[in-house]
A and B are shown apart, each in its own frame.
Chain A
Amino acid sequence: MAASSQTGMSITLEFSGGAELLFGKVKKHHISLDESTTAWTIKKLLIWVKDNLLKERPELFLQGETVRPGILVLVNDADWELLGELEYEIKENDNIVFISTLHGG
């Protein structure tokens, strides 16, 4: 994907542990977020994901304004709980991973 020619911010999203089933079984998504006057936080990203990527059963991914409890979030391989969770400000080339723990053991 020729993200370099765009003015927005390029990041990678990954869905696994069964969460990918809600995203057309695609695990890895390279996306570009438009330039914005307010910072791109994860809170804002989740709304974007809901409107642009989520294919089915949004209630299995989101609960209120956050992810459904039981879905783990990592930013650049670190637990988002160490990074401010919803308030984390996304940076260029961030890799954000969502792992469902809710699918069979």
Chain B
Amino acid sequence: MPVCCAACSGKAVLKRPKTGDALCRECFFHVFETEIHHTILDANLFTAGETVAIGASGGKDSTVLAYVLKLLNDKYDYGLKLILLSVDEGITGYRDDSLTTVKRNQKQYDLPLKIVSYEELYGWTMDAIVKEIGLKNNCTFCGVFRRQALDRGAVLVEADKIVTGHNADDIAETVLMNVLRGDIARLRRCTSITTGNEGYLPRCKPLKYTYEKEIVMYAYFKKLDYFSTECIYSPNAYRGYARAFLKDLEAIRSSSIIDIIHSGESLSIKKDVKMPTQMTCLQCGYISSNKVCKACVLLEGLNKGLPKLGIGKGLKARQKLVAAGMTLTNTESQSTSTESTAVLNTDKQSLEF
């Protein structure tokens, strides 16, 4: 008993998680693309003539984002110059494979590609960092460096904006995590479709309301070429309880994901709540909530052979130290390594919002 499409009575191939509608392949493509188009229009994400760097990892989300943006840019004449921008973390057997995928995408979608590497930006590959620090806090380094690397790459290609493939599931997950952590500053920011206006290039998430299920189905039906494997340095791909919880919620009631995003958006914060102020890093000039940004502190630690520096509870104190140009002694490093058991969140999401 084939189910019919709610829009055209053709053979349905998918049940939309957001609405419960059954749709055929063509109608699904149409609503999927049109919804993203409306998200872009409603939020005024782009202006004609802009150069937009697409953060491209070779994974499903950024691959679908690149494909759909290219399609919409042609179809609706946005007048954007699109560039694929990839970060090479220097992880043998993981990033080199995913970069191969991005290079294929470059040809398939006929878009220019720029690759920036940790090695050229920081003088360290992730392979070298892991050799130095082991497998415990490597994701912290990687997340902090990646955020800046995308920004610097975008500046190099003279982009006006960066777009990333964060989808509705990612954002709902971040809302939950920020509630659990009581991180009011991030909670307020994490549902915005555009972030980082001062100092950083604006970053937008055109897939903000797009369910992961639909992204994967779209990629499957369009036979898009994407890369999917776990990073070799986080073999358990720790996504936290928030993600498992969210997926369980979705299985019970699939609108939960969008409901959580709406809750996050509707949140208002009392005027007298003190929010962290933003400043620029004394060392590299990037925006930071401390005198010296996290990337610079981490880098300082690596270069001094004290890689644990900048991880754990004492981060703020040490950011001040680095700012004051104080030398770090070995005693310092030892106290740091005990503190570092209070591991910073190692999740990529939390670091990117």
Contact = CB atoms under 8 A, between A and B. Distances in A.
Interface of A: 16-18, 21, 68-70, 72, 74, 77-79, 81-83, 97, 99-105
Most buried by A among B220, B221, B243: B220
B216 A103 contact: no
Contacts of B59: 103-105
B160 interface: no
A79 B247 contact: no
Contacts of B12: 78-79, 82
Given A17-B228, A21-B230, A102 B239 contact: yes
Contacts of A18: 228-230
A105 B237 contact: no
Contacts of A79: 12-15, 217
Contacts of B22: 82
B251 A101 contact: no
Interface in B180-223: 212-213, 215-217, 220-221
Contacts of B15: 79, 81-82
15 contacts: A18-B229, A70-B212, A72-B217, A74-B220, A78-B14, A81-B14, A100-B228, A101-B216, A103-B59, A104-B57, A104-B228, A104-B231, A105-B57, A105-B165, A105-B167
B248 interface: yes
A99 B251 contact: no
Nearest to B22: A82
Contacts of B215: 101
Interface residues of B, number: 37
Contacts of B217: 72, 79
A101 B14 contact: no
B165 to A, nearest CB: 5
Contact of B216 (A68, A72, A104): A72
Contacts of B167: 105
Contacts of A17: 60, 216, 228
Most buried by B among A17, A68, A70, A74: A70
A55 B314 CA distance: 43
A82 B228 contact: no
B229 A101 contact: no
Contact of A69 (B13, B60, B230, B247): B247
B14 A82 contact: yes
B250 to A, nearest CB: 6
Nearest to B220: A99
Interface string B237-266: 101000110011011000000000000000
A74 B216 CA distance: 12
B61 interface: yes
B62 interface: yes
A21 B168 CA distance: 25
B3 interface: yes
Contacts of B228: 16-18, 100, 103-104
B170 interface: yes
Interface string B130-157: 0000000000000000000000000000
Given A69-B247, A78-B14, A99-B220, A105 B62 contact: yes
Given A78-B2, A78-B13, A82-B13, 20 more contacts: A18-B228, A70-B212, A70-B247, A74-B220, A77-B221, A78-B12, A79-B12, A79-B13, A79-B14, A79-B15, A82-B22, A97-B220, A101-B212, A102-B239, A103-B230, A104-B57, A104-B59, A105-B61, A105-B62, A105-B170
A99 B237 contact: no
